[in-house]
Structures are given as structure tokens and as C-alpha cells.
Structure 1
Amino acid sequence: MTVLIDTPLWPAHGTVWSHLVSDSSLAELHAFAALNGIPRRGFDLDHYDVPAHRYDGLVAAGAHPVGNRELVLRLRASGLRVSGRDRAARDVPPES
């Protein structure tokens, strides 16, 4: 069981962002995030978005730094990855 964090490269809101994921369970991911003060609103289906200024502290707290590609590969291998098709489906209103 490992919490992973990728390099902060994703620009938004005046900073760059990392992704924080678990390679084993969402429960582990949510617990790690809560323990480290990452708000639940930062969770996006299979990962937390975290700003660059939090990166070093999360690594010090035990998140394992990995490259962006490795993070996606390990998230897919865990079975926790939410695909693009699944993401699109969440934006479709339910049928009446």
C-alpha cells in the first residue's frame, strides 16, 4: 500500500498542481489526505489535486514521488483509475 505523488506540472489558478493517488485503496488515499490537511474538495474521482507548495510536505509525510507516467500506470494497475469515458458519464444528467 502506497500513496504516490507526481511532479507538480499541471497549471491552474496561478500555480502548478500534483496528483496524489493510492495504488491500493481510496480509503488509504482519503485517510492520508485528511491526516495531511488536504481538503476533500480536492478529490477528483481517483486522485487529489494538490498545489505545488504542498509537494515537499506530502513527500516528507510519506507520499512516494513518481513521474507522471508511472503514477498513471500504477493507478491503472490498482484498478482505481477512472477512465475518460467514466468521467464523461458523470457529467450526463440522469434520464427522467
Structure 2
Amino acid sequence: MALLIDKPLWQFRGEKWSHLVSDESYDELHDFAKKLGIPRRAFQGDHYDIPERLRDRAIELGAVPTESRELVKRLRKAGLRKKYKN
């Protein structure tokens, strides 16, 4: 099981952002985000948005760089993907 981070492709407020997820548990994800200094209130239902400037640090701490499609696939397989209403 792993913490996964995709490439920073999403622009918001002048920065690029990555998604950080766990394919094991939300507890693992929350603990890891705390190590990065990301507050729990930043949790987005099944992931954290991570600014590009913190991506290398996340990888140093053990997050695995992963393509976005693979990240979502693994999140779904683990049963941790939030279902959004249309």
C-alpha cells in the first residue's frame, strides 16, 4: 500500500497543484499530510491538494509519483474514492 502523488497540473491561485492520496486508509493520508504541514481542514473528501512547492518534500517522505489515471484507479480499487454527485 502506498501514498501516491500525481504531477502538479492543476492551476489555482497562481500555483500548480498535485493530488495526494492513500490507497490504504484515510488515517495514513491524514498522518502524512500532517508531516507536510497540511492542515486537516484541507482534506478534499478523498485527497489533499498539494502545492507544487511541497511535491518534492512529499516524495522525500515516501509518496510515490504516479500518473493521475493510475492514482484514481488505485483509489477506486481500495474503496477510498469519494463518489461525487453530478
Whether the TM-score (by the shorter chain) exceeds 0.5 is yes
Q: Which TM class, normalised by the smaller chain length?
A: over 0.9
Partner Cα distance (1:52, 1:16) in 2: 6
Asked if 1 retains the 8 angstrom alpha-carbon contact of 2:7 and 2:68, the reply is yes
Alignment of 1:21-40 (within 5 A): 21-40=21-40
**How far 1:36 sits from its partner (Å)?**
2.0
The aligned length equals: 86
Identity %: 53
Asked if 1 retains the 8 angstrom alpha-carbon contact of 2:17 and 2:51, the reply is yes
**Unmatched 5+ residue regions in structure 2?**
none
**Unmatched 5+ residue regions in structure 1?**
89-96
Note the alpha carbon deviations across 1:10-38, whole angstroms, 9 max, x for none: 11010110000000100000011112211
User: Whose radius of gyration is greater, 1 or 2?
Assistant: 1
Q: TM-score, normalised by structure 2?
A: 0.94
Q: TM-score, normalised by structure 1?
A: 0.85
Q: Aligned residue for 2:16?
A: 16
